[in-house]
Amino acid sequence: MVASTRIHLAMLVAAAALLRPSVAATYVVGDSLGWIVPPGGPIAYETWAAMHSFEVGDVLEFNFTTGDQDLARVTKEAFDACNSSNPIFLQTTGPYNYTLSTAGEYYFIGTMDRHCFLGQKLAINVTAAGSSPSPSSSVPPSRVSNTYVVGDDLGWIVPPGGEIAYKTWAYDKTFLVGDKLVFNFENGTQDVVEVTKDSYDSCNTSAPISVETISPAVITLASAGEHFYTSSYSRHCALGQKLAINVTSTSTGEAPCPSSIAGPPSSNPSPSAQSPTAGGPSSTVPKNTAQGGAKLGMGFSLAIMGVALGLVH
Give the span between the Cα atoms of 43 and 51, in whole angstroms.
13
- Residue ranges of the chain that CATH labels 2.60.40.420: 22-127, 147-312
Give the span between the Cα atoms of 161 and 307, in whole angstroms.
6
CATH (residue range 22-127): 2.60.40.420
CB 269 within 8 A of CB 162: yes
What integer pLDDT is reported at residue 143 of this predicted model?
54
Q: What are phi and psi of 124, to 5 degrees?
A: -135, 165
What integer pLDDT is reported at residue 75 of this predicted model?
95
pLDDT along the chain (313 residues), means of 10: 44 45 83 89 86 93 96 95 94 96 95 94 90 46 75 90 85 88 94 95 94 93 93 94 90 44 45 36 34 37 41 40
Query: Per-residue b/e over 83-111, b at no fewer than 16 CB within 10 Å?
Result: ebeebeeebeebbbebebeebeebbbbbb
What integer pLDDT is reported at residue 188 of this predicted model?
92
CATH among 2.40.50.140, 2.60.40.420, 3.30.360.10, 3.40.50.720 for 147-312 = 2.60.40.420
Give the span between the Cα atoms of 190 and 231, in whole angstroms.
7
The CB-side HSE value for 61 (13 A sphere, CA atoms) comes to: 10
Q: What is the pLDDT of residues 224-243, one digit of tens each?
A: 899 999 999 999 999 999 99
CB 58 within 8 A of CB 24: yes
What integer pLDDT is reported at residue 41 of this predicted model?
82
What integer pLDDT is reported at residue 44 of this predicted model?
84
Q: What is the pLDDT of residues 116-144, one digit of tens each?
A: 999 999 999 999 877 654 444 444 444 57
What integer pLDDT is reported at residue 242 of this predicted model?
96
DSSP assignment of 180-200: EEEE---BTTB-EEEE-HHHH
What integer pLDDT is reported at residue 250 of this predicted model?
63
CB 57 within 8 A of CB 129: yes
Could you tell me where the DSSP H helices lie in 51-161? 76-81
- Classified as helix, coil or strand, 166 is helix
